[in-house]
A and B are shown apart, each in its own frame.
Chain A
Amino acid sequence: MGMTITQKILADHTDLKFVRPGQLLNARVDIVLGNDITAPIAIEQFKKANAKTVFDKQRVIMIPDHFAPNKDIKSAEQCRILENFAKQQKLTNYFEVGEMGIEHALLPEQGLVLPGDVIVGGDSHTCTYGALGAFSTGVGSTDVAAAMITGELWFKVPETIKFIYCGNLNPWVTGKDLILYTIGDIGVDGALYKAMEFTGETIDSLPMSGRLTMANMAIEAGAKNGIFIPDETTEKFIKSIAKRSYKYYKSDANASYSDIKEYDVSRIEPQVAFPSLPSNTKSINDVGHVKIDQSVIGSCTNGRLDDLRLAAKVLDGKKAAPYVRLIIIPATQQIYRQAMREGLFEIFLDAKAVISTPTCGPCLGGYMGVLASGERAIATTNRNFTGRMGHPKSEVYLANPAIAAASAVLGRIGSPEELD
């Protein structure tokens, strides 16, 4: 019996030759991540356990990104807990405001998360790094504390569902649409406790930005991890930035899968997830008239350079509709600088957009675009739960950056095809 890429990575991190789905094991972790929401509780647990030092000061990473730059006094206190811990533990990879970016955009960009790694993070979207061919999963703060102390964590080896995508993408269809379509198909618990392995000829030609977006939202189907088999796209992305050595794994031809799903992507149009679940998807042509008050382009899901370029392509020479707030958030300082150099900021400013410093801010109703009662936003983020972006009576619709940009111009949810 062969193994999937997920089984192989976990086996290698426990020095076992073979691991089967359902097996419990204690695996070495390569990277442990915490942010200003989850790390304060982890640090409290770390101290309660009388731990003195983290297992490796280069491999424990702290990033204040959710409510940073500090949104209020309480957030400032939380961020200071991270800063003090980073100083005390002499962490190599603490990213202060000015170097900071949204964690799941920043770590791949900095070459800190690599193919073949086992990565745990106190953030559910830690599954993003599966795009690089790593086993990467979100955990709670106590798990982060345990991993920071021991450099290990217990896992149950997940079963894997294989997703095969074939055919050519339609205009304005991106990785975001593929993953929204998939979640719409299998539901928000369709991959509960399982690995989602994304393959097929469409994936072979999908850029890394699209893969990161897809792996990012594996958690929205309940998955433990999402993963891609490394290929030339991976190699091109990682070789010049990797800070450590790395290893490529691939699934055996005779690996066992709990299910296999095949999609002909030529039948997939841009997707919009209606409130209040990411699985509540419709094709853009079936949306009807949905007026919006705000459009947010950014987040760990869609705040990368390719996403901003796509938005700029749609917004070039256009303006946001009256009474619509267009908020654009480059996910890292590097993306911010490059977008500026490429002239994207000119296009955004002409379109009446505001351009924010990197932050998770509005995605989780923190700040930088919180919604009032009855307001609606279209967003390139990952969750549209009740009250996610503000008032419990506000609504969030999820889409790709092209749809979010076109909707800002139209004042209602729509496609770039509808613009002059």
Chain B
Amino acid sequence: MKLKGNVWKFGSNINTDAIIPARYLNVIDPEELAGHCMEDENPQFVKEAKEGDIIVAGTNFGCGSSREHAPIAIKAKGISCVIAKSFARIFYRNAFNMGLPILESADATDGIQNGHEIEVDLVSGEIINKTTGKNYKASPVPPFMQKIIDDGGLMGYIAKRRVFRNE
């Protein structure tokens, strides 16, 4: 599956309080959460990010709390994919569990700037910077995580395989 969109670039250690401030955690409605996504970190993002845009960030994206509201807000904002040098552990699980595509690539993060247009192949992990013409390769999605994606997230996965065989 290929995605194409404009890039919103963020730094390292973008925490879940930046993605969705805790003061808005008294709701679980995705649209309402999306309306505050990244508002303290970059107020322009809430106003101008468009359906299909892509977030590119540094290391440890999504660190901090376990709130699934963070990937929910990003997805509901219409962001098609997040590329980062690395992801915080709970955010990583949450993104797969609720179906937000994420990719790890240090080269892509270094070579892609705010406003660039990029194309991402989620299957091959190939990232093409349409603005500069440069190509990058993301770390492949681990096979187990791919199974969760194929089943439509963790709930689909467990519904399909109530008995899980240990490796």
Query: Bound state CA distance, A59 and B40, in angstroms?
Result: 38
Question: Scoring B residues 99 to 136 as 1 if CB is less than 8 Å from chain A, else 0, what string do you get?
Answer: 00000000000000000000000000000000000000
The reply to whether the CB of B3 lies closer than 8 angstroms to some CB of chain A is no
List residues of chain B with CB within 8 A of the CB of A385.
15, 17-18, 64
Contact of A38 among B64, B66, B86, B97 (CB under 8 A): B66
Are the CB atoms of B155 and A124 closer together than 8 Å?
no
A38 to B64, CA, bound (A): 14
Which residues on the A side are within 8 Å of B90 (C-beta)?
124, 138-140, 219
For the complex formed, measure the closest distance between the CB of B151 and the CB atoms of chain A, giving whole angstroms: 12
B59 cross-chain contacts in A, Cβ below 8 A: 189
Q: Are A140 and B68 in contact (CB under 8 A)?
A: yes
Are the C-beta atoms of A67 and B26 separated by less than 8 Å?
A: yes
Say whether A66 contacts B25, CB under 8 Å: yes
Which of A143, A193, A219, A224 is the one whose CB lies under 8 Å from B154?
A: A143
Rounded to whole angstroms, the CA-CA distance of A320 and B124 in the bound complex is 61
Q: Which of A142, A143, A154, A392 has the most CB of B within 10 A?
A: A142
The answer, yes or no, to whether A71 is at the interface (CB within 8 Å) is: yes
User: Are A14 and B166 in contact, with the CB atoms below 8 A?
Assistant: yes
Most buried by A among B15, B28, B97, B164: B28
| A222 at interface, CB cutoff 8 A | yes
Give which listed residue, B28, B86, B94, B166, contacts A40 with CB less than 8 A.
B28
Given the complex of chains A and B, what is the CA–CA distance between A48 and B159 in angstroms? 11
- Interface window among A22-30, A236-244, A341-349: A22-30
Query: Count of B residues near A, CB < 8 Å?
Result: 42
Q: Is the CB of A277 within 8 A of B94?
A: no
Q: A26-B166, A222-B88 are in contact. Are A141 and B17 (CB under 8 A)?
A: no
Cβ-neighbour of A364 out of B17, B154, B166 (below 8 A): B17
Given the complex of chains A and B, what is the CA–CA distance between A72 and B162 in angstroms? 39
Given the contacts A23-B167, A140-B97, A189-B60, A45 and B155 also touching, CB distance less than 8 Å: yes
For B141-167 the 0/1 string (1 means CB < 8 A from A) is 000100000000111001100101011
Rounded to whole angstroms, the CA-CA distance of A385 and B40 in the bound complex is 11
Q: List 17 A-B contacts (CB under 8 A).
A: A37-B69, A40-B28, A41-B69, A48-B155, A124-B65, A139-B66, A139-B93, A142-B68, A188-B60, A189-B59, A192-B86, A192-B88, A222-B60, A222-B89, A364-B22, A366-B23, A386-B17
- Beyond contacts A16-B166, A38-B68, A45-B155: 8 other A-B pairs, Cβ-Cβ < 8 A, are A40-B28, A78-B27, A143-B154, A146-B97, A224-B89, A365-B22, A385-B18, A388-B22
Q: Which 7 A-B pairs have the closest CB atoms?
A: A140-B94, A364-B22, A74-B26, A142-B97, A140-B68, A392-B40, A189-B60
